[in-house]
Amino acid sequence: MAARKSAPKKPVKSNTSKEELLNHYREMLLIRRFEEKAGQLYGMGLIGGFCHLYIGQEAVVVGLEAAAKEGDKRLTSYRDHGHMLACGMDPKGVMAELTGREGGYSKGKGGSMHMFSTEKHFYGGHGIVGAQVPIGTGLAFADKYLENGGVTFTYFGDGAANQGQVYESFNMASLWQLPVIYVVENNQYAMGTSLQRSSSTPDIYTRGEAFGIPGEAVDGMDVLAVKEAGLRATEHCRSGNGPYILEMKTYRYRGHSMSDPAKYRTREEVQKIREERDAIEHVRELILQGKHASEDELKAIDKEIKGIVNDAAEFSKNSPEPALEELWTDIYADDTRLGVHA
């Protein structure tokens, strides 16, 4: 049950197929371009409230989705746009939720932090730091109860890793051998507080040891390493061995939210990671080195992705605001019943 640390690696060559590499490239690029567009729309006042961008962390969700099977569940905190796109939710519906429109996944009532898709088994989108961890553990409890073979990817950040309910969940998940993968997206900053200033020990993947949960650290900027780790974790869960912890060493390029001036780190620090560890550049290099595609072919993909994102943005602007009656719907299963003091 010992926690292990897999050596961060940057394979110069890869046995990964052309098709898979191009898929990873396409999906990571979609998230990045989508988030850049969201940032732009926020600046234009079309998106309100809190908006937490995923730029920099794309390899985590794309790699793990490549390890997931149909029927597996996933949920995360409020930095959730990447997870939704990676599990196949429609960019138009996500963007329209960001703009608070009728065409959004929650009909405009949830916003950036609260979106769901029962069809894609995406269980949110949770605004309270750490609250998704017992919820994800409960989804895994349901899977085990129903004996459906499903696994739940429960994502949380290095900040949430200090919430008590995370450890209450670890205990029950291990006690009851629940098929849940705890994915710690360690982007090194809980809002503005670095891991060094918030965590008594540097390695979050070891925090399951007290509960007998194996964990490993993974280079979260390497989509192939992420996928491999994801396959180990899902195999562990599906074999009935209970929970597993994956600590993804990753990095967010943008501020915590749109209103974050990011004074807690230097511009050079961000720049260095962008230049040396960027997940999309990494796959791009693999594709070009392996001669799986030419620069022109990659440019064509870039253009295609840009088109998808522009369409999503257009949709999100043109979709009407929710009808005023929507204020009073979806509170109860049957809203016609008493209960709302209108």
Partner 1 sequence: MATEVLMPALSPTMEEGTLAKWLVKEGDEVASGDIIAEIETDKATMEFEAVDEGIIGKILVEEGTEGVKVNTPIAVLIEEGESADDIAAPAAAQADAAAPDTTDAPVEAKAAAQPITPVIPAEADIPEGTEMRSTTVREALRDAMAEEMRADDAVFLMGEEVAEYQGAYKISQGLLDEFGAKRVIDTPITEHGFTGLATGAAMGGLKPIVEFMTFNFAMQAIDHIINTAAKTRYMSGGQMSCPIVFRGANGAAARVAAQHSQDYAAWYAQIPGLHVAMPYSAADAKGLLKSAIRDENPVVFLENELLYGQSFEVPVLDNYTVPFGKARIWREGNDVTIVSFGIGMKYALEAADALAEDGISAEVIDLRTLRPLDYNTVINSVMKTNRCITVEEGWPVASIGNHLSATIMERAFDYLDAPVINLTGKDVPMPYAANLEKLALVTTKEVIDAAKAVTYR
Binding stretches for partner 1 (CB under 8 A): 73, 104-110, 114-118, 123-128, 131, 133-143, 145-146, 164-165, 168-169, 171-172, 175, 329-334, 337-341
Q: How far is the CB of 163 from partner 1 (least distance, A)?
A: 9
Q: Please answer whether residues 150 and 143 qualify as being in contact, where contact means their C-beta atoms are separated by less than 8 angstroms.
A: yes
Q: How far is the CB of 332 from partner 1 (least distance, A)?
A: 5
CB nearer partner 1, residue 12 or residue 333: 333
CB nearer partner 1, residue 110 or residue 214: 110
Q: How far is the CB of 91 from partner 1 (least distance, A)?
A: 17
Q: How far is the CB of 92 from partner 1 (least distance, A)?
A: 15
Q: How far is the CB of 156 from partner 1 (least distance, A)?
A: 12
CB nearer partner 1, residue 171 or residue 188: 171
CB nearer partner 1, residue 14 or residue 163: 163
Secondary structure in 3-state letters for the chain: CCCEECCCCCCCCCCCCHHHHHHHHHHHHHHHHHHHHHHHHHHCCCCCCCCCCCCCCHHHHHHHHCCCCCCCEEEECCCCHHHHHHCCCCHHHHHHHHCCCCCCCCCCCCCCCCCCECCCCEEEECCCCCCHHHHHHHHHHHHHHHCCCCCEEEEEECCHHHCHHHHHHHHHHHHCCCCEEEEEEECCEECCEEHHHHCCCCCHHHHHHHHCCCEEEEECCCHHHHHHHHHHHHHHHHCCCCCEEEEEECCCCCCCCCCCCCCCCCHHHHHHHHHHHCHHHHHHHHHHHCCCCCHHHHHHHHHHHHHHHHHHHHHHHHCCCCCHHHHHCCCCCCCCCCCCCC
Closest CA to 79 of 160, 16, 140: 160
CB nearer partner 1, residue 1 or residue 175: 175
Q: How far is the CB of 327 from partner 1 (least distance, A)?
A: 10
CB nearer partner 1, residue 142 or residue 210: 142
Q: How far is the CB of 337 from partner 1 (least distance, A)?
A: 6
CB nearer partner 1, residue 139 or residue 226: 139
